[in-house]
Amino acid sequence: MATVEEALYGHASSRAPYVTEAARHLLAAGGKRFRPLLVLLAAEAGPRPDADEVLTAACVVEITHVGSLYHDDVMDEAALRRGEDSANARYDNLVAILTGDWLFAKSSELTAQLGPDAVRIQAETFTRLVEGQILETVKPGPDEDALAHYLEVVAGKTGSLIATSARYGALFSGASPEIVAALTAYGELVGSAFQLSDDILDIASESEESGKTPGTDLKEGVPTLPVLMARASTDPADARLLELLDPDRSDLAGDADLHAEALDLLRKHPAMDQAREYVVARAQEAKELLQALPEGSVRSALEAFADVVAVRSA
């Protein structure tokens, strides 16, 4: 990871100092480096975990992810990211969008070094990621299940790149096709669990714990897993919460008191525990896929990785 970290800063370097500053802004803010770590972990399932291609792939997925954060913060009008000013708050929306585009271009340059199969995988992944982001802005139709729609969003915007992270690690370390397939499916489930646990943290954590403004999705009217589960309540005692969570309501963003009230009621609602149980179940499904790997430290590490995702607090 130390090697990858150093390489990331090298790749986020432009001949224009201003571009370098903007591109490194979110890298310097830290982050869990979840995706490159998964590349490296999955690579341990193959005979060449230290291959140069593995390290390059680890940089590809993190640079792709960081580029998406610049766009995500513009969409959410977020003020904080990883405890620091978001790029759109520090600079402006135009700079944030173009910096995200620049990082996507850099990740494409690196992917080209990995060969045509990686270019195809990256293109397919990026298609799913952007489709997920777009679908997040579209309300489900009257006959469409809101939870199913949201899980499709999550699978696209988060699960796709994390699945590719596991796939790259296994593929470029020379793992068998069976293990590559198992780890790709594992990554998809772990990736969705990661995003869903993020949804829970968005409500449950204070900004000093998560590094983000709490209740951002709630404020922007994005119905995440706890909100969708709370909306399914038929308990008369939840009338006020359901009123505040009404999908046609649009005043939470502009009224700090209403937003705080909704956040408080939601934090106390059983939907939070229901959401946590759902995430743990997805992580368990992911762990079952690891039976394709021989028992040992690699499999144990990947099982622990899934567990940490499911119950993380930051």
CB 7 within 8 A of CB 25: no
Superfamily of domain 2-311: Farnesyl Diphosphate Synthase (1.10.600.10)
Torsion sign (Cα): 298, 300, 301, 306: positive
For the chain, domain boundaries: 2-311
Instruction: Check residue 24 and give its pLDDT.
Output: 87
The dihedral over CA atoms of 301, 65, 187, 147, expressed in degrees to the nearest 10, equals: 130
Cα separation, 38 vs 162, in Å, equals 8
* pLDDT tens-digit readout, 206-226: 755 555 677 888 887 888 999
Cα separation, 161 vs 121, in Å, equals 10
Of the pLDDT bands very low, low, confident and very high (cuts 50, 70, 90), residue 299 is very high
Residue owning tokens 């199913």? 148
Instruction: Check residue 282 and give its pLDDT.
Output: 96
* pLDDT tens-digit readout, 238-281: 999 999 999 888 888 889 999 999 999 999 999 999 999 999 99
Residue owning tokens 């140069």? 52
Return the bridge partners of 85, or none: 80
Of the pLDDT bands very low, low, confident and very high (cuts 50, 70, 90), residue 234 is very high
Of the pLDDT bands very low, low, confident and very high (cuts 50, 70, 90), residue 153 is very high
Question: In this model, does residue 230 exceed pLDDT 60?
Answer: yes
